[in-house]
Structure 1
Amino acid sequence: MYQYGAADVRYGQSISLGTSSPIDLSGSSSYSIGFWLNPRAPAYDGFLLSSGTSYYIGLHGLLLTLSIPGMNTPQCSEIELLPNQWQYVLLVFQSQGTNQGTYALSVNGTPFIEGSLSRVTATDSLFKLGHTSDAQFINVAFWSTALPEGERLPLWDIPSPSTNLAACYSFADGSSHDVSGQNRNAATFAGGAQVVMVAPALRLLNTGVQPSPRDALTVVADGGPFSVQAWFNCDAPSEFQAASRTLFSCRDRDTGYGCSLGVMWNGGGFNLELKQETAGGSGGWGNSIQLPPGSWHHLAATYDGTTFLIYLDGTHTLTVACTTPVLANPVWLFGATYTPDTAGSAENELQGYLQAAALWSRVISANEVQQYMSEDPSDSEGCVAFYAWSSLMLANQVTGHPPVLLNTAFPATVVTPPSESPPPSGSSNLQMAVVQPSARLEPAVRWSPEEVAYPANSPLPPDQVEAIIAAYEPVLASVPGAMKDRLRSLFRNNLYLGLAKGNGPGGMPVGAIAGKVEGAAYVFYHHTAQGPVECGRMELTVNTECVGWVVSVAATSICLLLTVVGLGFSATRAVSSLSKVIGESTALLKDIGEAAKGATSGSTVIKVIKALYVAGTLGKVVGDMLTGNWVSIGLNCASLILMVVGLFTTGGAYLAVVLAQLVINIAVLIAVIVQKPSNCC
């Protein structure tokens, strides 16, 4: 199935990487350290990766901290990490002689902390993950060289072995071994730290999925051969649920005749169940295998016209001789059974997850069942539908048609211990000294739970600030009553916090991604504490002042939205996607231009965001950005999946949440809109 391993560390737990330091930390040698990090919120102040008590990369709230022996005080970033999102952290130390050099700590290729040291104090303690943090890690790599600029972007997969790769603890396969080729000792776990397997999947909770009617899947419901398969994970049942859990069903829209395949709870576990409804009556077959709830299994069935062969986890488990009826108007469902006499026309009894569901118009062999447990079958002969549900690509990968998500089925992730390599047991007799971060750091703040005062240094006049707040009220109309006050308060507080940040060295709040037209190109800048950093550019096919301004408004808006949903630091990857969507969509530019040509007020900003929202541009950009293998998609989007799908399925309620978070940098968009050229009337 589509999953990856990650080291899971809670507060008080830790992981020692090998039995000795893989790199020289004296300052007399260059080195690099990179790892993928998923910090949980709320974030604890403490260490993410440390060597001894004074060398560490840590967290102060959600701000990154860096301490290298020889620093006068620990360094703290001005840009916050995103909670519950995978981000790539890289520290590069460039030696400039004995015990001295420069350092750069970046996230997804954007510098967060930079500086130089002249009195580095050596340390050779073991490297440890965690013990005062709550996070997940993957691909923790050490190089005995300063990586050049071109190699500092996120490493989606395990780094390629080389003489400079000193160690790499990937955890991606569920193991704790060094996979660098240097054969260093394995990681050891203390206090309950473990490796977990993370599997993106489709969450079904009294919901279902219907393949697009445009796919016309009658070919697998005409009484002829077909095959179906998927990975599934069922929740523990409650006493209020029916015993049956349908994974696949194909029933006639008018008569309800057809068949369904799933599992049935018998009080101690799940058993396989095949059911059929025909004009001659109903029938059912099954066996007793007692599958425990909360575990992943693979189910496949083939039908040759007279016999069902059912496979569990790749092994032939059940044979049923029967003849399925020919269906004149078939309805395929995953996670539900079509029943024309039931309200909603479906029994949504499955509570669990599905992944990698596939349909064929032929019988697949036992070898193919095993092959396609871990391979994409969409290019195989006779495959008419394949839904990976392990990424933002929710559509049928054979036809490109999206399924119908019934009753708000949504993508999610499942975290389980590795099935093949159970996590090492924690060592209860290992005592660790919990070292508190320096008291010299200022208190960390993300979203304030208390009311924030109006900022005296606001770059916007009070009337514009009030207009922004007033323009938010219509967006709240679709939000449930209990959430209105909370979102209203969050919107106002975040707006005040954003305005209080003032301007950074580049004239924009630190952390914002914005750009401007330079000649015949639109140049993207990520505004850091050290000033604006160019992170990409796109050529403009029509170079006029008005078109350039509209492109600036559109690009800045999309970058702000990407920041909100977890990709704000990945502007370099966004440039090509933004170029395609913005540069080729005349209709989108027209809508953005019309929305932005009004008075510079809160309502103008809301209109611009709504234009992007209605156009579905965020989904197009993100979908174009997230190309590559399933590992890279999973690492980037495990939690982003739910948010993007929510953007297009829950309507205004989700837009209200997006705007409530967006306003912390909304002054950036207003600053771009206010620069409207005089010829854009």
Structure 2
Amino acid sequence: MRPMYQYGAADVRYGQSIQLGGNCPLDLSGTASYAIGFWLRPRAPAYDGKLLESGSSWSLGLHGLKLTFCLPGMSPHQVSEIELRPDEWQYVLINFESTGTRAGNYTVYVDGTTLIEGSQSNITGSTSPFVLGTSCDAQFYNVAFWSTARSGDALKPVWDVPQPDPTLAACYSFSDGSSTDVSGHNLGQASLEHGAQVVMLAPSLRLVNGAVQPSPRDNLTMSADGGPFSVQAWFHLDAPSPFQSETHTLFACLDSVSNKGFTLGMQWDGTGYNVHTTGYVADGSWRGWGHTSQLPPGEWHHLAATYDGSALTLYLDGEVSLNIPGVVQPTLSQPVWLFGAQPKSNVAGGAAYDFQGHVQAAGLWSRALSASEVQQYMSRDPSDVDGCVAYYAWNGTVLGNQVTGYPALFQNTVTPSIVVTPPSASTPPPGSDTTTQQLAKADPPLPSAQMLFAEPVAFPDQKLLTQDQAQNVLASLEPLLATLPESTLERMRSLSRDNLYQGLARVGGPGGAPVGAFTGQVEGNHFVYYHHTARGKVEAGRMELSVNTECVGWIVSVAATGFSMLLAAFGVGFAGAKLISPIQKAVTESTVLLNTVKSVAESSVVDADSIIRIIKAFYTAGTLGKIFGAVLTGSWFTIAANCAMLLLQVAALWATGGAYVAIVMLQLVANFALFLYVLDHKPAGC
């Protein structure tokens, strides 16, 4: 069977080769322009080799992981300064623009950016067919030839088969597992020589003694609430070993305490795999059901189950495998959903990891699917369909629930991987038209940063960094760049700038964060994570902050009020100490008191004014601290009270004698009242 996400590619090892047609589709004499583009997935080599060649003097090759390019008459060949990435898909484009007879300019792009460029004259043409491989280890996809040079957006990587174009001279896609020319010009079948082959690649999730648990934030209740539901996925089981359980659970929804619930998977009988499920019937007893299928290991198959409230129907590869009436799904108090394992309260770790293989395109529904819908969603993304509550493609960089954006929890050895199968083991799903079916392919590769840019990237319109701040970031890289060879220094400097600007444009620009990105922000006393999906920003998780700003504000308010009260008392005490003798006779008359204070202050030989002003400065700092604490706690009453006392303190800065004492005593009384108020309004949890 053909899984939902799969595509073909030419696989060439050292000593193998693939000849593309019986003749050369392009004029390589230098008098005509042309372009050649293809996707390349190089393996880490241990030798120099050729990726694509025509005759003995036109070639694109590898020196380690650096690209090499050679035209007839060129000596020596050109070598890129930057290496390719091993075991990752990259788009290579050779662009030749003729400038006259037997002369022209050449550029070799990788992922839309320049790696090799130059000019050549006295070119001698080649009419030999193009050959992939002969001395390299790599995979190729969508090898296309154009009879004109590419420009503008045509320089950018395109994952799909090239659109029909009068200039498209030939294209060997390999995407459907065949080796024919799909350009419409019928250049001829590609010849697979010395063991070269076309293989089918299926990106998926590798489960070996591991499991996947949907995010608790998805709150998946189907199969746990007793109502209708559906589950489905593509799976690829390994051959069993004596150390594994005979049961291989694809889906499980069980109560974490009672172990009641529902499981669906395959069971090994010594010869092949058979469909197996467990659940409950009307009398409340736990039952298991199976259907002999005798599926051999190492193949892709599709398994689905639908429950309408009274009957459970199992589908294998889109066809009804087993219909079980009288099923009663119990309501689970503590449900746990797992892919690739069964929740087990009596097992160390809480789960029995019994699935050994690969899974992709797993979907969960809150309703029962019809037979036609089961077949339809074997080859179609259902994440935007009513009733689909979770969908995990597991075919690219996005590994979470594509309905909600919440990331799944990976347990033990769960990793993204690729299953390689021959085309003969990849038949289409039942009911599909093989002549018109569009093969579902994996997401195109998305490199995190480009290696070079054809055009300088302008500073973007965004709010994340100013241009001066961006320049400071780039300046911090200069010590590292200074260690590079002079030949690459300026290119790496521009590369750093362009990648920074492109990143700012994607993350901080008007378009927001790219699909698949995670961002976060502080909201109250939580730090909230957001996952950016095609449907927009969705919350992916939150973390409670250990610092309670309201509690911190209360502590600041108490400390600042106490400090201000202490300073006010000290200020009154200082003035009183200077006036004890003169004011003994006038303690009961405020007017006399103020006059005495004034005369003493004016006649004092001690620099009391300086000391008083220092005290007032400290006191003002305490009042400002109280305002800061009030702002943190959100108490507008204390903010207003402290602002009023701060105004009084400002007035005291110009006051002397009795006016000073009167103001400070007023502040002392007010601070004492405010201190009691703040203590009485302690925040909860502080």
What TM-score comes out, normalization by structure 1 length?
A: 0.66
What's 1:272 paired with? 275
In structure 2, how many angstroms separate the alpha carbons of the residues matched to 1:276 and 1:140? 51
What is the number of residues matched between the two proteins?
Answer: 484
* Structure 2 spans left out of the alignment, 5+ residues: 428-446, 482-493, 513-526, 536-686
- Superposition pairs for residues 238-637 of structure 1, below 5 Å? 238-276=241-279, 280-321=284-325, 322-419=327-424, 534-535=456-457, 537-541=459-463, 547-549=469-471, 552=474, 577-581=503-507
In structure 1, how many angstroms separate the alpha carbons of the residues matched to 2:99 and 2:528? 50
Q: Does structure 1 residue 111 correspond to structure 2 residue 37?
A: no
Residue 327 of structure 1: how far off its partner (Å) = 1.6
Residue 221 of structure 1: how far off its partner (Å) = 2.1
Q: Does structure 1 residue 221 correspond to structure 2 residue 224?
A: yes
In structure 2, how many angstroms separate the alpha carbons of the residues matched to 1:181 and 1:43? 38
2:305 aligned counterpart, secondary structure: strand
In structure 1, how many angstroms separate the alpha carbons of the residues matched to 2:187 and 2:242? 51
1:579 aligned counterpart, secondary structure: helix
Residue 44 of structure 1: how far off its partner (Å) = 3.2
Deviation track 1:263-316 (CA, whole Å, cap 9, x = no partner) reads 011112111111236895432111221111121111011111221111111111
Change (3 A) 1:536 1:392: farther
In structure 2, how many angstroms separate the alpha carbons of the residues matched to 1:145 and 1:236? 50
Q: Is the 8 A contact 1:555 1:582 kept in 2?
A: no
Residue 582 of structure 1: how far off its partner (Å) = 5.1
Q: Is the 8 A contact 2:223 2:261 kept in 1?
A: no
Q: Does structure 1 residue 48 correspond to structure 2 residue 55?
A: no
In structure 1, how many angstroms separate the alpha carbons of the residues matched to 2:227 and 2:452? 61
Q: Is the 8 A contact 1:108 1:570 kept in 2?
A: no
Change (3 A) 1:135 1:307: same
Change (3 A) 1:129 1:616: farther
What's 1:28 paired with? 31
Residue type at the aligned position of 1:8 = D
Deviation track 1:520-574 (CA, whole Å, cap 9, x = no partner) reads xxxx99669xxx96245423548867533455479999x9xxxxxxxx9999898
In structure 1, how many angstroms separate the alpha carbons of the residues matched to 2:503 and 2:265? 40
Identical aligned pairs, as a percentage?
A: 53
Residue type at the aligned position of 2:406 = H
2:80 aligned counterpart, secondary structure: strand
* Structure 1 spans left out of the alignment, 5+ residues: 423-512, 515-523, 560-567, 587-614, 629-681
2:221 aligned counterpart, secondary structure: helix
In structure 1, how many angstroms separate the alpha carbons of the residues matched to 2:498 and 2:361? 30
Residue type at the aligned position of 1:337 = Q
Q: Is the 8 A contact 2:104 2:121 kept in 1?
A: yes
State the structure with bigger RCO (CA 8 A, min sep 6), 1 or 2: 1
What's 2:126 paired with? 123
Q: Which moved more, 1:361-370 or 1:43-52?
A: 43-52
What's 1:461 paired with? none
Deviation track 1:80-129 (CA, whole Å, cap 9, x = no partner) reads 11111111111111111111111111111221111111111111001110
Change (3 A) 1:358 1:554: farther
Residue 254 of structure 1: how far off its partner (Å) = 2.1
Q: Is the 8 A contact 1:49 1:128 kept in 2?
A: yes
1:370 aligned counterpart, secondary structure: helix
Residue 36 of structure 1: how far off its partner (Å) = 0.6
Residue 324 of structure 1: how far off its partner (Å) = 2.3
Please identify the structure whose Cα radius of gyration is greater.
2
User: CA-atom RMSD, angstroms?
Assistant: 3.3
Q: Which moved more, 1:152-161 or 1:129-138?
A: 152-161
In structure 1, how many angstroms separate the alpha carbons of the residues matched to 2:384 and 2:175? 27
Q: Is the 8 A contact 1:40 1:84 kept in 2?
A: yes
Change (3 A) 1:542 1:158: closer
Residue 6 of structure 1: how far off its partner (Å) = 0.9
Change (3 A) 1:95 1:553: same
Residue type at the aligned position of 2:507 = V
In structure 2, how many angstroms separate the alpha carbons of the residues matched to 1:118 and 1:150? 28
In structure 1, how many angstroms separate the alpha carbons of the residues matched to 2:139 and 2:496? 20
In structure 2, how many angstroms separate the alpha carbons of the residues matched to 1:228 and 1:75? 54
What's 2:590 paired with? none
Q: Is the 8 A contact 2:11 2:138 kept in 1?
A: yes
Change (3 A) 1:243 1:571: farther
Q: Is the 8 A contact 1:253 1:340 kept in 2?
A: yes
Residue 407 of structure 1: how far off its partner (Å) = 2.0
Residue type at the aligned position of 2:306 = T
Change (3 A) 1:542 1:40: closer
In structure 1, how many angstroms separate the alpha carbons of the residues matched to 2:126 and 2:507? 50
In structure 2, how many angstroms separate the alpha carbons of the residues matched to 1:4 and 1:277? 40
Change (3 A) 1:59 1:548: closer
Change (3 A) 1:554 1:201: farther
In structure 2, how many angstroms separate the alpha carbons of the residues matched to 1:125 and 1:233? 42
2:416 aligned counterpart, secondary structure: strand
1:220 aligned counterpart, secondary structure: coil
Q: Is the 8 A contact 1:3 1:199 kept in 2?
A: yes
Q: Is the 8 A contact 2:206 2:414 kept in 1?
A: yes
1:23 aligned counterpart, secondary structure: coil
What TM-score comes out, normalization by structure 2 length?
A: 0.66
In structure 1, how many angstroms separate the alpha carbons of the residues matched to 2:387 and 2:395? 22
